[in-house]
Amino acid sequence: MIKSIEEINGMREAGKLAAEVLDMVTDFVKPGISTGELDKICHDYIVEEQKAVPANVGYRGFEKTLCTSLNQVICHGIPDDKRFLKNGDILNIDVTVIKDGWHGDTSKMFLVGKTEAHNERLVSITQECLYKGIKAVMPGAKLGDVGHAIQEHAEKNHYSVVEEYCGHGIGKVYHDEPQILHYGTPNTGLEIKEGMCFTIEPMINLGTKFTKKLSDGWTVETKDGRNSAQWEHTILVTKKGSEVLTKRSDENF
């Protein structure tokens, strides 16, 4: 669970590559493109430019490079050549890159064309939830502190936190212990220690927290059909706080 300096360097490289994929694909996210086309663009970039491995391909039977979760889809949306983006959509692109055995896992929300104010606000507050969760990470804190920081900010803004899906430990194993819940009670749960690596990836709903899984076995939607947003970073716990291994070029920490 605790990473050595050499292992951390491997995680840094994988995280940097994952962030680069989201930076690269940003200019392609616009009305008229299909989620399947976005998937191919990212797959080819990872394989041909980064000389890395798209972790999702073949993972538990998943066939695509990205998870593309559109509007009311909470997570694990499957890219489709017939599903075209339209003006006003909100889209989460979730990508994981493997480099030399190490995983970098991250996701970003995209506003497609002109977006309604309530959707913009949901996306913005969800990103703030992620950042508040990251800020709570430090040696000696508890995982409940991280979940509480996220939950408090979401509920203060009249949103709900998805409880069935969570962040996770990460390294050479894609989804490892511990589970990182996005809700919780301060000073409860596992103690956070320097050298841990895990993802924080709050899923915040405009309506209720309840979910439903579609018949494809992957896609998870809000039960009430209202929109959902998610942002994700891979985090390293440092001596004084945390390092965001998947920081993008548009972020300042």
In Å, what is the CA distance from 28 to each residue of 15, 40, 68, 78, 252? 21, 12, 14, 18, 23
Instruction: pLDDT tens for the chain, 253 residues: list them.
Output: 899 999 999 999 999 999 999 999 999 999 999 999 999 999 999 999 999 999 999 999 999 999 999 999 999 999 999 999 999 999 999 999 999 999 999 999 999 999 999 999 999 999 999 999 999 999 999 999 999 999 999 999 999 999 999 999 999 999 999 999 999 999 999 999 999 999 999 999 999 999 999 999 999 999 999 999 999 999 999 999 999 999 999 998 7
pLDDT in the model for residue 1: 80
Distance CA 125, CA 119 (A): 10
CATH topology of domain 5-244: Creatine Amidinohydrolase (3.90.230)
Q: Which pTM value belongs to this model?
A: 0.97
Q: How many residues comprise the chain?
A: 253
Q: What is the 3-state secondary structure (H, E, C) of 152-209?
A: HHHHHCCCEECCCCCEEECCCCCCEEEEECCCCCCCCCCECCCCCEEEECCEEECCCC
Distance CA 158, CA 141 (A): 26
Residue ranges covered by each domain of the chain:
5-244
In Å, what is the CA distance from 113 to each residue of 120, 195, 240? 11, 40, 40
The DSSP bridge pattern shows strands 233-237 and 228-230 to be unpaired
Q: Are 195 and 245 in contact (CB under 8 A)?
A: no
Q: Are 134 and 242 in contact (CB under 8 A)?
A: yes
- Find, among 39, 28, 2, the residue nearest to 176 by Cα: 2
pLDDT in the model for residue 41: 98
pLDDT in the model for residue 205: 98
Q: Are 148 and 186 in contact (CB under 8 A)?
A: yes
pLDDT in the model for residue 195: 98
